[in-house]
Structure 1
Amino acid sequence: MSKKTLVMKFGGTSVASKDAILNVVKIISNHKDDKLCIVVSALGATPQHGKVTDELIELKTSNKKEKILCRLRKRHIDLINECIQSKRYRKEAKKDIEHIILEIEKHLNDPKYPLECFGERMSVQIMYYLLCDQKLDISYVDAGNIIHFINTNPHFQKITESSELIKKTIKSGRIAVTEGFIANENGKITCMIRGGSDQTATLIGEAIGADEIIIYSDQNGILTADPRIVKNARTVDEISYSEAEEMAGHGAKIIYPKILDPLKTSNIPVIIKNTFNPAHKGTRIVPLAKTKGIKCITMINQTHTSIHNPAMIGTEGFLAKVFASIKNDVDIVMSGNPIIGYTTTNIRDTKDNLQEFGEIRQLKVHTIAIVGEEVEDNPKVMNRISKCLVDKNIEIEFISHDRQSAAIYFGIKENDRTYALLNMLHKELIE
């Protein structure tokens, strides 16, 4: 059997504790005959500790900087002592952690320095020496030399050129290990948006021509709904790129919305798997899924803003003026004379700064997405949605769908019947 080229990304929960990180080592060891590039996130939360990235962000404004630094140092040193058997590698790993702590201290008073990047800097050193301890042939590659950004966007040509180092490393039989979340912009270290480690994996996967990109978390893949709300939620076997993007953008937090952008020419499959249950096949994300139909129901809390103005009918440039004045990142847009509407997750527009455009109405809503290819062409779907809404005595505030979208969206007022509605929708549309 020919060797596969794999990029394997391990999220914060996968490296948060001794048991978790030793599971990661087993997974990597089981793939040691493949060509591997490992991407590591900062240590995640445990019952005893918070997320390292959150603590590094807190450092910027806290008046208890020494206490936080001591806590960060102790957590990483303790993990080294618990996991690494070799005295030599324990000593080297501790030395690197101490050096990184000194680097953090050096930049504490620089408000522009991205302290968040040090979480991945520390976790990747632990992973590197732990894999050395397991006698695996390993090579550390600095993500700051690989992932290049320009104007906050990936510089694909530079990433492809820089990734030749990873190609050479894995071609020689060594395992490459690098950080997620970190990028180089104009020669300076910067951090990607939270959750960006997934994008690190797909950017590298595209650049080196990976056969698969595997993203490990603490779930068995992408679920049909939030299991905290919908009791019968189950793992989706396979979804398309477009379905995954709709889910990620509207409440499915297991994947980062932009991870698939680099893959749309190469069509590399992405697999979402569970570090703590690696035998489970997880969810495959592919360019076109073999099965159609509804894959997932998501919900997100948003603000729906509507502008009513009969005079706007036929007025050239009206919509352009409205959206030029909006301060938020607009999610869903609905337009139908004489009303236009849009949803936002973080509300910064007030009625006052939109008043010149007409009568303004703002409402807190639950935006529900019914995700699936060709869902808009199936009249039975809307009939079943309507049945559920009538049964729960809930009115729709807006509805939006088009042929370019793999989802139907509708908004309802925030209310205590939403969870019951989601369970009923799941039963009618998926179970």
Structure 2
Amino acid sequence: MQVSNNHTVEKIGGTSMSQYEAVRDNIIFNPALKNPYQRVFVVSAYAGITNLLLEHKKTAEPGVYGRFAQAEEDQSWIEAFALVRQKMLDINQELFGDGQLKNKADKFILRRLDDAERALADLNSLCQHGHFELDDHLAKVREMLASIGEAHSAWNMAHLLQKEGVNAVFVDLTGWNIDKAVDMDELIKDAFFSLDLRECLPIATGYCHSEKGLMATFDRGYSEMTFSRIAVLTQANEAIIHKEYHLSSADPKLVGEDKVVPIGMTNYDVADQLANLGMEAIHPRAAKGLRQSEISLRVKNTFEPQHKGTLITSTYVSDKPKVEIVAGRQQVYAFELFDQDMMGQVNKFDVKILSIINELKIEMVSKDVTANSITHYLSCNLKKAKRLLVLLEKYFPEAEINLRKVCIVSAIGSDMQEAGMLAKAVKAIAEQGISIQALHQSMRQVDIQFVLDEKHFDQAVIALHQHLVETAPEV
């Protein structure tokens, strides 16, 4: 590969991918650029496709994977396959119309889907025998199914751009036809070794095959890890993520589009705090690689190509202490475990609690510790919350365990070390008549977290944004 350190690696999200004309006109043929080259694009599956292949990201409604994992004698996963197959063909029809290229597009994705369906049928049959357990193979099944969505969108985009006269190259990182497991970095290096970015435009799959399995670590954040590793290994000058919205001071749907502003500049610390609240600018592990390689990350709005977006760097600190964004998380369960014997041996209790949380694969958002109690704030569904409660009661029979549903609302900034900022934030909440259940501010002073009754989420976000962002003095 011709490495010149002036290329960018850019990721396009699923919602944007579903609007090809906007991507073509605003990103590929951005009027501010002399030509479309010196860039690498990493694309997500079209909106909704990964939900159909795996399970719905928000509601957990099972797709092909979810139904297959629960299958046993049930064959409903075959119906799910038929649904995703039809959806992909409908997308092809919309993008290509009728003709030879549409037939090629259909042939490509149908071959992948047929191979995958055949593999699942064979595996299902094999696991009817006592020597084979389905659970032993589910991780690989999940990887295989996830890869199909990105192969579909990347192939389509490369060929659509070729029609526009662009020398676009489909870069298939899914490992679909390789005969042995390889390291992720090795696969990326091999794929880009022969490409001259001055003369071609690579369109790479957001899923990348990995010997250890990409989803085992990153699950639905896998495309961001692929994006990050490509940027690091090709020594990109800048990494760019194109989304359907700006990285703004709050959710515009909640606070109002006329009241929020794009952040403009921030740092990776702030990006990590957002990720902890489930509002990822980028997965923290993906950000780590960019940060260590001193590659800046820019988040842009697909539909406002003239806007520079928000630049995230390792070193940025606001000129004056301020709140840059108000964000939060709903569907949080607070598990408070109180035991008089905990005094002096909190770690002993916490190690066991954390091992159970990890075993259930529940995400922890925050934690409180007192002399004789520990409260974990966890993001999970009700089913897992009840399962965790049963296990905690089993392992700590003498403890008092309280469970309640809460929300977390946070004021975040690259520098919030200003006397009175905490008091101002508390006042904004109190003036709404909202009772604060818990309050967190670390010595790093990049965020203030409020734990509240779940019903107060919207009200608290609006109040904090009004008092800390909208009425803040100009820097």
Indicate the residue corresponding to 1:426 in structure 2.
465
TM-score (norm 2): 0.77
Note if 1:367 corresponds to 2:418.
no
Indicate the residue corresponding to 2:46 in structure 1.
43
* 2:388 maps to which of 344, 349, 356: 349
Which moves more between the two structures, 58-67 or 207-216?
Answer: 58-67
Identity of aligned residues (%): 21
| Mapped contact 2:188–2:230 kept (Cα < 8 A) | no
Q: 1:73 to 1:342 in 2, by over 3 A?
A: closer
* Shift of residue 116, structure 1, vs aligned partner: 2.5
Indicate the residue corresponding to 2:114 in structure 1.
102
Note if 1:53 corresponds to 2:50.
yes
Indicate the residue corresponding to 1:224 in structure 2.
249
Q: Which runs of 5+ in 1 are unaligned?
A: 45-50, 149-153
* Shift of residue 365, structure 1, vs aligned partner: 0.8
Q: Which runs of 5+ in 2 are unaligned?
A: 55-62, 68-75, 125-137, 471-475
* Shift of residue 373, structure 1, vs aligned partner: 2.5
| Mapped contact 2:85–2:113 kept (Cα < 8 A) | no
Which moves more between the two structures, 270-279 or 244-253?
Answer: 244-253
* Letter paired with 2:105: A
* Letter paired with 2:16: S
Q: 1:19 to 1:270 in 2, by over 3 A?
A: same
Q: 1:227 to 1:218 in 2, by over 3 A?
A: same
Note if 1:384 corresponds to 2:396.
no
Indicate the residue corresponding to 1:32 in structure 2.
35
Question: What number of residue pairs does the alignment pair up?
Answer: 411
Equivalent positions of 1:210-359 (< 5 A) are: 210-219=236-245, 221-231=246-256, 232-291=259-318, 292-301=321-330, 302-315=332-345, 317-326=348-357, 327=360, 328-346=362-380, 347=385, 348-350=387-389, 352-353=393-394, 355-356=396-397, 358-359=399-400
- Output the CA distance in 2 between the equivalents of 1:204 and 1:12: 19
* Shift of residue 5, structure 1, vs aligned partner: 0.9
- Output the CA distance in 1 between the equivalents of 2:354 and 2:216: 30
Residues 25-77 of structure 1 deviation map (CA, whole Å, 9 limit, x = unaligned): 43499463642211111111xxxxxx111222323423524641552342233
- Output the CA distance in 2 between the equivalents of 1:197 and 1:266: 19
* Letter paired with 1:32: N
- Output the CA distance in 2 between the equivalents of 1:329 and 1:195: 14
* Letter paired with 2:401: I
| Mapped contact 2:15–2:46 kept (Cα < 8 A) | yes
Indicate the residue corresponding to 2:146 in structure 1.
116
Q: 1:40 to 1:323 in 2, by over 3 A?
A: closer
The 3-state SS of whatever aligns with 1:185 is: coil
Larger fraction in strand: 1
Q: 1:282 to 1:336 in 2, by over 3 A?
A: same
| Mapped contact 1:40–1:124 kept (Cα < 8 A) | yes
Which moves more between the two structures, 113-122 or 18-27?
Answer: 18-27
Q: 1:280 to 1:367 in 2, by over 3 A?
A: same
* Shift of residue 336, structure 1, vs aligned partner: 2.0
Residues 383-405 of structure 1 deviation map (CA, whole Å, 9 limit, x = unaligned): 11221222122222112222346
* Letter paired with 2:365: D
- Output the CA distance in 1 between the equivalents of 2:114 and 2:175: 21
The 3-state SS of whatever aligns with 2:225 is: helix
Which moves more between the two structures, 322-331 or 296-305?
Answer: 322-331
| Mapped contact 1:116–1:191 kept (Cα < 8 A) | no
- Output the CA distance in 1 between the equivalents of 2:351 and 2:284: 26
Q: 1:40 to 1:137 in 2, by over 3 A?
A: same
* Shift of residue 252, structure 1, vs aligned partner: 2.1
* 1:78 maps to which of 51, 73, 93: 93
- Output the CA distance in 2 between the equivalents of 1:223 and 1:338: 40
* Shift of residue 258, structure 1, vs aligned partner: 3.5
